[in-house]
Structure 1
Amino acid sequence: MAKLSRNIGSLFLSDIVSRGFGFIVTVYLARVLTIRGFGLISYGLAFLTYALLFVNPGLTTIGAREIAKNHSNKKLVEEIIGLKMTIGFVVFVVFAVGLILIPGDPLTKKIIFIYLFSLFPFTILLEFVFQGTQDMEYIAASRFIHYLVYFVFIFLLVKGSGDVAKVPISYFLGYGLGTGFLLIVFSNRYGLLRLRFARRRWYDLLRISIPVGLATIFNQLLLNFPPVILGIFHCKEEVALFSAAFKIILMFLIIERVFYFVFFPIFSRQYRSEPTKLKSSFMFISKLLFAVTIPIAAGGILLSHEMIGFIYGVKFADAAPVLQLLLLYFIVTPLNTIFGYGLVAVDEQRKFLKVIFITSLINLFLIVVLGIYFKAQGAAAAIFVSELLGVILMNRELKKKIAFNTLKAAVKPATAALFMAALLYWLQNIHFLLRIPVGAFGYLIIMLLIKGFSRSEYRKMKAVFGEERKEIT
């Protein structure tokens, strides 16, 4: 359990610090660049984001799963890196040729082209190896280096609107040094990385990983869909209201990212070597997620108006109802991620893709209909309803392999959150920044009184998540 706590803590801290660096850089660039220059950076980064999706069609997820099952599989690491490098080179060439052939603004093309160079450090990024071996502190350190270097070079190189091309250069340097750190750690511990270009083996890897890659692409596309629909059918103010609320949710979803990175390799390892532990593991992770997400959502719903006013100002007051709906989405989406990648951990990635495909179609339909008729609130309701359906379907598929009771895990966190909500309402005349720690303390006290996590559960989980350390050879 000590290692589990260390992994969660290191990833959570690194994500907070990295996002902090990213936020400061964003504010700085917004001030020193022109509006057009700032837009160019966002545009170029969007191209890189989509290019990265094509370079990694689920390969690192499958890699982390297999490394978790067998820490001695260095050959697999070398095959995945060789395949990613090949795909990365092809994607880079395709995008570069497109930039040459398609008419457009030269500066825009230049920014996109420089950003595309970050594909190359991404192809040799070894995060999935250390996720599989559950050495999250190295992933945390790599991300810290990435964003620290990016932060430093932005402030050293970018002084005005004429330095816009130095932004993607700084990003590349940060990405490269973060990737280099993991390469050094890997080489010191496991020996030099040899690239393996085995076409027959690549076919097997792609056949297994593409369902995961397609599911990721569907998710990314649909996350960007609400602003598009709102922008087409309504004024830009509706886009701003939705985006403002969703940015807060994205900060909260650090929890989802951390839990996925920490628990996915545990589920994968247990499925191979100790499948009887999976029921206890999924019950524990469900309860732990509910214990974190339910009080945040309950408190956020009560304090939404104050939060929006404090962060964005009174002109964004209409974003509060949107935030309230998105906080319901926040409760279910980490659970959906854990159940979905739980299916991948037990070799059911095709069922994972099937559920994602079904919920994506429903999500698409609901966003169009509710977004048109109910604007930003409708779009928020649409993604909550579709995500809730996704949890139900993922849970149903997972229970065919592992029988566990999800709703039972929510009872005690929900009970404590109700008492916390009553306390926050009673203290409504106090500034919300003071009510947050009081509410959190009250929630923890109630959880202790009702034995939200008993000593026997803690001892049981220590046995469930206990492991022997193995090395890649």
Structure 2
Amino acid sequence: MTYAKKVANNTIIQLIGRGISTFLSFYIVAMLARRLGVEGFGSYSIVFAYLGLFAVLADFGFFYLLVRKLSANEGDDVEIASNIIAMRTVAAVIIFGLSIGIVQFFPYPHAVKQAIAFATLFFTLISLQNTLFGVFQARYQMYWAVVGDVSSRVVTIIVLYLFFGSSSNLLLIMGAYLAGSTVATLILILRARRLVPFTFGTNFTLWRSILKESIPFGLAIVFSYMYFKVDALILSIMKGPFDVGVYSPAVKILEVVLVIPSMFIATILPIYSKYHTDRDPRLPDTVQKTFDLLSLAMVAVVGGIFATAPQIIQLIAGNEFMTASSVVVGSFSATAITALSIIIFTAVFSYLNPTFSYLLIAAGKQSKLLLPNIILLVVNVGANILLIPRYSYVATALTTVITDCIALGLMYYLAKREVAFTLSLGRLVRCAIAGVIMVVIVRMLALPLLASIGIGGVIYLGCAYLFGGMRAEMVTLLRRKSV
């Protein structure tokens, strides 16, 4: 099977699976938002925002290192996988253990601190799952990651319904997540060991070598994740659960739609790595095609969500979130709809960024990511601390968009310095024109959400195809013989 065929098959299977997973994810958010209310949902979101920072510390670049080494055949696959997975597991136990002690110094309610301590159990399992994804990605079987994700969410929903009823107890909700994560972890371990029969590796010489290689990239990932996530943490400290509750539905929606580029680029990274290692002349064209495909998806997502933000918030979070507000700008009360309408433009840059950042990873230049991400973190934190007291979640949304815009420019500049390629913006511009037409028509029609999605999708794809924003080969990718 050609690499293009592998990418197409993996991407289509993942799209179907991710569609199911996205529905389940939104269902859980809708259930909990209505059950907990704005402030309670804010407390729930604080748990995930806080532990999310420690989760990326536990990763420290191990996932990407595993994918690159398995894809490029850099040694004994079993030995490499066994030791990287062992290192990630040990790191997760230590780091999440520390998180329990550190949270005691945060000004959170006691119930939130208890929930954080309990949630470290399933966050540790999720950390292991994310490393196992590296095995599936390197073997072009990322659909198993989807199986694990869907299984986890299904079990979580079942446990919530069977045992917790209408309870709003955070500990019980975290227990449902633990049940789902346990089932998913068992499924993924059993399947991953059939591809690469790893054990718990204790080759400490290899550990030192892996750690030395992962530190620069690991730090870059930490700073990259922090500048994207630290705003919610700062908001929780400076404003509290209510403001976090208003902001969180928009963030949850953004996180779900950002799965699309990460899922697609996950299938591209092994090809980037192979083409770069082999000095394959097809690499520049692959970069352009990746950029074009992500542009096509990005405009659809950003335009579609911007055009239907009120309906989406009502569906996902409920009526209480439609009017809940603690920020007034002029005579305008900023609600969750406002936050979503602003923060969705982060996707403009987050969708395109991996085209270049993953190119650096494939070239083994991950250390180049460190300084830019430190700069971005400083800019983000500084802007949030300055603006949150006055503008609260409106400031966090705007700061996220601006920071990601700067990030895209930096990633393009660095990738261009390290890898020879040229980039055309023609298809992006054509897609953008199609997107504007879609937004205008959908807003004018003001139809129910499902009708707006259907009509908007037809208008966008039709215009993108007519204007030349969508290549014919994007439609017929599965029938192609080569990239």
Question: Which residue does 1:450 correspond to in 2?
Answer: 467
Question: Which residue does 2:408 correspond to in 1?
Answer: 391
The aligned runs of 1:214-253 (5 Å cut-off) are 214-227=219-232, 239=244, 241-253=246-258
The question of 1:74 aligning with 2:82 is answered no
Alpha-carbon offset, residue 84 of structure 1: 2.1
Rounded to whole Å, the distance in 1 between the matches of 2:311 and 2:40 is 33
Question: Which residue does 2:438 correspond to in 1?
Answer: 420
3-state SS of the aligned residue for 1:275?
coil
Counterpart pick for 1:194 among 179, 192, 199: 199
Question: Which residue does 1:4 correspond to in 2?
Answer: 7
Describe the superposition over 1:213-255 as per-residue Cα deviations: whole angstroms up to 9, x where unpaired.
2233223333344345556777977655543433332332232
Alpha-carbon offset, residue 70 of structure 1: 2.0
Rounded to whole Å, the distance in 2 between the matches of 1:189 and 1:286 is 31
Question: Which residue does 1:468 correspond to in 2?
Answer: none
- Stretch moving more, 384-393 or 175-184: 175-184
Question: In 1, are the aligned partners of 2:360 and 2:366 still within 8 Å (CA)?
Answer: yes
Alpha-carbon offset, residue 380 of structure 1: 2.6
Rounded to whole Å, the distance in 2 between the matches of 1:361 and 1:260 is 27
Alpha-carbon offset, residue 211 of structure 1: 2.6
Rounded to whole Å, the distance in 1 between the matches of 2:47 and 2:339 is 29
Alpha-carbon offset, residue 146 of structure 1: 2.0
Please tell me the root mean square deviation across aligned C-alpha atoms, in Å.
3.8
Question: Which residue does 1:360 correspond to in 2?
Answer: 377
Rounded to whole Å, the distance in 2 between the matches of 1:370 and 1:163 is 33
Question: In 2, are the aligned partners of 1:33 and 1:164 still within 8 Å (CA)?
Answer: no
- Stretch moving more, 397-406 or 47-56: 47-56
Question: Which residue does 1:469 correspond to in 2?
Answer: none
Question: In 2, are the aligned partners of 1:341 and 1:352 still within 8 Å (CA)?
Answer: no
AA at the equivalent of 2:79: K
Question: In 1, are the aligned partners of 2:428 and 2:469 still within 8 Å (CA)?
Answer: no
Question: In 1, are the aligned partners of 2:8 and 2:477 still within 8 Å (CA)?
Answer: no
Alpha-carbon offset, residue 28 of structure 1: 4.8
The question of 1:289 aligning with 2:289 is answered no
* Runs of at least 5 residues in structure 2 that lack an aligned partner in the other structure: 325-332
Cα 1:460–1:399 shift into 2, 3 Å: farther
Question: Which residue does 1:403 correspond to in 2?
Answer: 421
Question: Which residue does 1:131 correspond to in 2?
Answer: 137
3-state SS of the aligned residue for 2:198?
coil
The aligned runs of 1:40-189 (5 Å cut-off) are 45=48, 48-70=51-73, 73-91=77-95, 94=98, 111-118=115-122, 121-122=125-126, 124-125=128-129, 126-159=132-165, 161=167, 165-189=171-195
Rounded to whole Å, the distance in 1 between the matches of 2:231 and 2:407 is 18
Alpha-carbon offset, residue 397 of structure 1: 0.9
Rounded to whole Å, the distance in 2 between the matches of 1:336 and 1:67 is 24
Cα 1:419–1:122 shift into 2, 3 Å: closer
Question: Which residue does 1:257 correspond to in 2?
Answer: 262
Rounded to whole Å, the distance in 2 between the matches of 1:225 and 1:95 is 15
Normalising to structure 1: TM-score of the pair? 0.82
Describe the superposition over 1:336-362 as per-residue Cα deviations: whole angstroms up to 9, x where unpaired.
233222211211111112221222222
Alpha-carbon offset, residue 450 of structure 1: 3.1
AA at the equivalent of 2:135: V
Rounded to whole Å, the distance in 1 between the matches of 2:462 and 2:101 is 61
Question: Which residue does 1:318 correspond to in 2?
Answer: 334
3-state SS of the aligned residue for 1:140?
helix
- Stretch moving more, 260-269 or 156-165: 156-165
Question: In 1, are the aligned partners of 2:49 and 2:233 still within 8 Å (CA)?
Answer: no
Cα 1:459–1:294 shift into 2, 3 Å: closer
Question: Which residue does 1:470 correspond to in 2?
Answer: none
Alpha-carbon offset, residue 106 of structure 1: 8.6
Cα 1:406–1:231 shift into 2, 3 Å: farther
Question: In 2, are the aligned partners of 1:218 and 1:360 still within 8 Å (CA)?
Answer: yes
Question: In 2, are the aligned partners of 1:238 and 1:375 still within 8 Å (CA)?
Answer: yes
Question: In 2, are the aligned partners of 1:149 and 1:174 still within 8 Å (CA)?
Answer: yes
AA at the equivalent of 2:428: A
Same amino acid, percent of matched pairs: 20
Question: Which residue does 1:471 correspond to in 2?
Answer: none
Cα 1:251–1:267 shift into 2, 3 Å: same
AA at the equivalent of 1:331: V
Rounded to whole Å, the distance in 2 between the matches of 1:148 and 1:207 is 39
Normalising to structure 2: TM-score of the pair? 0.81
The question of 1:333 aligning with 2:333 is answered no
Cα 1:26–1:65 shift into 2, 3 Å: same
Alpha-carbon offset, residue 151 of structure 1: 2.5
Rounded to whole Å, the distance in 1 between the matches of 2:235 and 2:42 is 19
Rounded to whole Å, the distance in 2 between the matches of 1:34 and 1:370 is 26
* Runs of at least 5 residues in structure 1 that lack an aligned partner in the other structure: 466-473
Cα 1:158–1:412 shift into 2, 3 Å: same
Question: In 1, are the aligned partners of 2:339 and 2:394 still within 8 Å (CA)?
Answer: yes
Rounded to whole Å, the distance in 1 between the matches of 2:379 and 2:38 is 36
Cα 1:393–1:159 shift into 2, 3 Å: same
Alpha-carbon offset, residue 285 of structure 1: 1.1
Rounded to whole Å, the distance in 2 between the matches of 1:298 and 1:41 is 29
Question: In 2, are the aligned partners of 1:29 and 1:38 still within 8 Å (CA)?
Answer: yes
Rounded to whole Å, the distance in 1 between the matches of 2:390 and 2:104 is 42
Question: In 2, are the aligned partners of 1:367 and 1:383 still within 8 Å (CA)?
Answer: no
Rounded to whole Å, the distance in 2 between the matches of 1:235 and 1:189 is 46
Alpha-carbon offset, residue 130 of structure 1: 0.6
